Amino acid sequence: MWSKLIRHTTESSRIFETYVRYACTSSLVPGEPDGPCVKTAVPGPQSKSLLGELSKVQQCGTVQLFINYDKSIGNYLVDADDNVILDTYTQISSMPLGYNHPEVLKSFSSDHNLKSLVNRPALGVFPGMDWPQKLQNLLKEVSPNLPNITPMMCGSCSNENAFKSIFIAYRRKQRGENKDFSDDEKESTVRNQPPGSPKLSILSFFGAFHGRTLGSLSTTHSKFIHKMDIPAFDWPIAHFPRYRYPLEDNVRENAEEDSKCLAEVEELMESFCKRGVPVAGVIVEPIQAEGGDNEGSPEFFRCLQKICKERGSYLLFDEVQTGGGPTGRFWCHQHFDLESPRISPKLPYRIFNTWMGDPGKLILLENILNVIKTYNLLGQVQRTGDRLRCGLLELEKEFPCYIDSTRGRGTFLAFNAATTELRDDILKRLKQKGVQTGGCGIKSIRLRPALVFQEHHADIFLDIFRQVLKETK
Amino acid sequence: MWSKLIRHTTESSRIFETYVRYACTSSLVPGEPDGPCVKTAVPGPQSKSLLGELSKVQQCGTVQLFINYDKSIGNYLVDADDNVILDTYTQISSMPLGYNHPEVLKSFSSDHNLKSLVNRPALGVFPGMDWPQKLQNLLKEVSPNLPNITPMMCGSCSNENAFKSIFIAYRRKQRGENKDFSDDEKESTVRNQPPGSPKLSILSFFGAFHGRTLGSLSTTHSKFIHKMDIPAFDWPIAHFPRYRYPLEDNVRENAEEDSKCLAEVEELMESFCKRGVPVAGVIVEPIQAEGGDNEGSPEFFRCLQKICKERGSYLLFDEVQTGGGPTGRFWCHQHFDLESPRISPKLPYRIFNTWMGDPGKLILLENILNVIKTYNLLGQVQRTGDRLRCGLLELEKEFPCYIDSTRGRGTFLAFNAATTELRDDILKRLKQKGVQTGGCGIKSIRLRPALVFQEHHADIFLDIFRQVLKETK
């Protein structure tokens, strides 16, 4: 039945619109099944056989399932064995509207958009005629307080280029605003030596994940396997707050935790400055995701920004997981009431690469933003988030020996299992019942559903999770 | 007239095929104009006005022209002012079939391909069912001697991950093949310290360009502006050969140049080993592109590989510009007759990121490879390359005070101007006559035409270039 619906909706957006207008208590993505449906072990025989094939050409020990992306729809993955799986993890939090959303499928139906996709330009040199307007529109939509935008291709390279912007701004201040580079600087930087390639650092936090290229990896500290055997910059690392939950019962302890971590940041800045490796910038996640969904309080972030400002360092928020709406606002840092200072490079060819982004991805983003606005998906996130959080807190009460510390904002939620083993066991049994979630940190489970994850999806998840907890021995 | 043809060909591939089969002396991309046509200054008023718009949201001092990608076709860019420009630079060498090739435009006309594009998975965790077969086919097509493939998203991150593979393999050998990580290693790497984050280096060459993220930037040494103010790893840098041309008249001098550079590589490996920062790998371009199209001889590369092998280091070829056919073979290193050893990581989550490539780009690549094979474009490259090279050598004789040192393979060609000022002036005047080229190094001009650049395009380029040289004062 529902596979017929998928066919319908990809053929006609009219059906989609009717569906949304007159049946808004139903799924925001038409054609979704009523719930998960598991026919084999997960992974099943087809996924296992495909894994054998893939392992001939690459290390693929990370692969969990092979997916039929033709059949997947909305919040539901359909795997290679035709198992229908409710997805609360969305490709490591990267599919804001789930699968095959009819508006997203329309992205390249116009000749102009198709040509923007296949004629991928070097955007820093030969941009298309509509590029300035597209970037201006994008800024208006997603970032009314920040005046500049530099598109990149992934989280790691966004961070690497943000570090570079920070180093450039920091050195410009040191050198004097409009002073030229010296010959010594020009000559030494080509040899990787100071003063042209200066001793400067980026401060990061234990538990952080900011990417895997050598600069961003030097600020990643969540798991040893990401870093083992790879040379790193010797940069300062501070502790990130670890709160006790529920927050309202641990106000004093958590405030002390903030103070301790902030004091360490100041000490490290002081000591690295004395060592001759001043801290040009601080990178931080609004919620440490990979490291265990560890939250920082608004007060923590406001104080952190103040410390940076006092010492002439720049504060950089990495919103690769939290950005785009799952916390109920478009950016998580908007919850913190921060100042918005700006830096941007003054000279060409410094923050630059061959592509500088990808017009094809911006077309997808435009359609996604349009759906978010039209259907007020940030409001949906808040409603679904409330339902999920209440359900999880109830389950905490029902199974206090198994789970605790429910936390997060919007649908960006997590909780702890009592042990790592129990966490891994829960993840596995959820999957056998048709629910995909993700682990993080040492014993946490994180939810990263799409923005079209609704109350009824939350109920399905909570029902199955209750079953799993009941069956825990 | 020709804009009509564009419309035709995007509507029907049948026209395209007929065209190619029965009119193979004409353009390989139907609908191309007969030659460049310049109506305004380049950049013209439209490009200038759009630059004003773009500069409101980003530093864009690198932008040369705004392009109408709807109208651009084959080897011809059409800019925002309707100037028709013969493109020998192809978006910094990244458009193998030029603009709006009819076969490329068909890439997403099937429902399956469109869904592969918009449902971008975390390929390391939830690949699509056709992914293993696609990677196996790709390997067969482009890399029959290398058994492994790990797709990445750009040149910088490919190099960063290649460095990581090298460091991992190097440390595995040091540690003992199947030995586990020690607790000390696990604990220290999270703090960026040895032994977990060891002191190891990648040797690179002066004049090299390998990317702009902090690891790859530490191996880039072409221009100071790329590196200024950015901290770098203190890794060894050797001189890359600088040959005299024509090669056949300077055999002894150039062989001496090879020996000198190779001796320096050995000395650096020795001294960095003594310093406690052993050279785990060497990265090199088959032809240094950004640095000035500096060639290395096959002997140079064979000796370099031998040195690496003797010292237990790995040799890494960066083919981001030379790869894909422009030298007349799919990879430039195939001209050097090298051994093909293999390394691949044994553990999961080490060479990994959220996306691990992009199925949408692989679909484009499949179509491009199909066209390359069907129309034997590597043969075309050799024919066009011969025509271009002969023409350039004739111009060298005609204008010996202005240009010299024509070099390269296939259509991957370059020559020197007498001075930097003359080079920049030639680039500018070529553009005013409707020819886009690119500068590199201190006083070189590089040609990076598409694989569909044919003899008659070469003739147009050479004619206009002769005119420009004649008008040089």
What is the per-residue pLDDT for A188?
98
B207-226 per-position pLDDT tens digit:
999 999 999 999 999 999 99
B217 in Cβ contact with B226 (< 8 Å): yes
What is the per-residue pLDDT for A346?
79
pLDDT range class, residue A344, cuts 50, 70, 90: confident
Burial zone of A113 (CB within 10 Å; 0-12 exposed, 13-18 middle, 19+ buried): middle
B125 to A68: CB separation less than 8 angstroms, yes or no: no
ipTM of the modeled complex: 0.93
What is the per-residue pLDDT for B298?
98
**Distance between CA B358 and CA B162 in Å, rounded?**
18
- Residues near B323 by beta carbon (within 8 Å), at least 6 away in sequence: B330, B331, B332
**Distance between CA A216 and CA A83 in Å, rounded?**
37
DSSP B352-364: --SSSS-HHHHHH
**Distance between CA A120 and CA A136 in Å, rounded?**
20
Centroid of chain to Cα B412 = 10
For residue B189, what are the CA distances in angstroms to A215, A307, A335, B158?
14, 27, 33, 22
Q: How far is B64 from chain A (nearest CA, A)?
A: 5
- Sequence length of chain B is 473
Nearest to B257 by CA among B245, B272, B268: B245
| Structural domains present in chain A | 58-100+376-473 (3.90.1150.10), 121-357 (3.40.640.10)
Nearest to B100 by CA among A128, A56, A376, A152: A128
B187 to A224: CB separation less than 8 angstroms, yes or no: yes
**Distance between CA A410 and CA A398 in Å, rounded?**
23
A220-240 per-position pLDDT tens digit:
999 999 999 999 999 999 999
B167 to A124: CB separation less than 8 angstroms, yes or no: no
Residue of B nearest to A143 (CA): B57
**Distance between CA A130 and CA B70 in Å, rounded?**
11
Lowest-confidence range among A84-88, A295-299, B352-356, B410-414? B352-356
**Which of A121, A139, A224 lies at the smallest CB-CB distance from B57?**
A139
Helices and strands per DSSP (H, E), number in chain B: 16, 13
CB contacts of A214 in chain B (<8 Å) are 160, 163-164, 213-216, 218, 233
Nearest to B297 by CA among B237, B238, B247, B239: B247
Whose structure tokens read 């410390």?
A: A307
**Distance between CA A291 and CA A209 in Å, rounded?**
7
- Residues near A445 by beta carbon (within 8 Å), at least 6 away in sequence: A414, A415, A416, A417, A423, A426, A427, A437, A438, A439
Q: Which amino acid is at A133?
A: Q
β-pairing, A412-417 vs A403-409, is antiparallel
**Which of A80, A92, A115 lies at the smallest CB-CB distance from B354?**
A92
B136 to A224: CB separation less than 8 angstroms, yes or no: no
B437 in Cβ contact with B427 (< 8 Å): yes
A352-366 per-position pLDDT tens digit:
999 999 999 999 999
Q: Which amino acid is at B364?
A: L
**Which of A53, A70, A77 lies at the smallest CB-CB distance from B115?**
A70
- Residues near A105 by beta carbon (within 8 Å), at least 6 away in sequence: A10, B114, B115, B118
A424-453 per-position pLDDT tens digit:
999 999 999 999 999 999 999 999 999 999
pLDDT range class, residue A25, cuts 50, 70, 90: low
A167 to B80: CB separation less than 8 angstroms, yes or no: no
Strand partners, A204: A237
Q: How far is B394 from chain A (nearest CA, A)?
A: 31
**Which of B77, B118, B132 lies at the smallest CB-CB distance from A54?**
B132
Centroid of chain to Cα A470 = 31
Nearest to A243 by CA among A228, A231, A258, A229: A258
pLDDT higher than 80, residue A178: yes
**Which of B112, B127, B234 lies at the smallest CB-CB distance from A66?**
B127
Residue percentage of chain A with pLDDT more than 90 = 88
CB contacts of B349 in chain A (<8 Å) are 61-62, 223, 225-226
What is the per-residue pLDDT for B25?
54
**Type and span of the H or E element at B310:** helix B298-311
**Per-residue DSSP letter, A289:** T
Side-chain-side CA neighbours of B361 within 13 Å: the count stands at 17
> Mean per-residue pLDDT for A140-158?
89
Q: How far is A9 from chain B (nearest CA, A)?
A: 13
Which sign, positive or negative, has the C-alpha torsion B165, B167, B168, B174? positive
**Which of B118, B170, B349 lies at the smallest CB-CB distance from A105?**
B118
Mean pLDDT of the residues in chain A: 93
β-pairing, A279-284 vs A201-205, is parallel
Q: How far is A459 from chain B (nearest CA, A)?
A: 25
B207 in Cβ contact with B292 (< 8 Å): yes
**Distance between CA A161 and CA B35 in Å, rounded?**
40
> Mean per-residue pLDDT for A200-229?
97
Interface test with A, best of B7, B8, B59 (most A CBs within 10 A): B59
- Residues near A55 by beta carbon (within 8 Å), at least 6 away in sequence: none
B348 to A59: CB separation less than 8 angstroms, yes or no: yes
Interface test with B, best of A11, A29, A58 (most B CBs within 10 A): A58
- Residues near B29 by beta carbon (within 8 Å), at least 6 away in sequence: B73, B74, B75, B97, B98, B100, B101, B102, B452
What is the per-residue pLDDT for B16?
38
**Which of A67, A100, A189 lies at the smallest CB-CB distance from B128?**
A67
Q: How far is A149 from chain B (nearest CA, A)?
A: 6
pLDDT higher than 60, residue A13: no
Helices and strands per DSSP (H, E), number in chain A: 16, 13
Both tokens of B138, joined, read 């790709």
**Distance between CA B422 and CA B456 in Å, rounded?**
27
**Distance between CA A147 and CA B254 in Å, rounded?**
53
Residue of A nearest to B7 (CA): A111
Per-residue pLDDT of chain B (473 residues; tens, 9 = 90+): 333 333 333 333 333 333 333 334 589 999 999 999 999 999 999 999 999 999 999 999 999 999 999 999 999 999 999 999 999 999 999 999 999 999 999 999 999 999 999 999 999 999 999 999 999 999 999 887 788 899 999 999 999 999 999 999 999 999 998 899 999 999 999 999 999 999 999 999 999 999 999 999 999 999 999 999 999 999 999 999 999 999 999 999 999 999 999 999 999 999 999 999 999 999 999 999 999 999 999 999 999 999 999 999 999 999 999 999 999 999 999 999 998 777 777 788 888 999 999 999 999 999 999 999 999 999 999 999 999 999 999 999 999 999 999 999 999 999 999 999 999 999 999 999 999 999 999 999 999 999 999 999 999 999 999 999 999 98
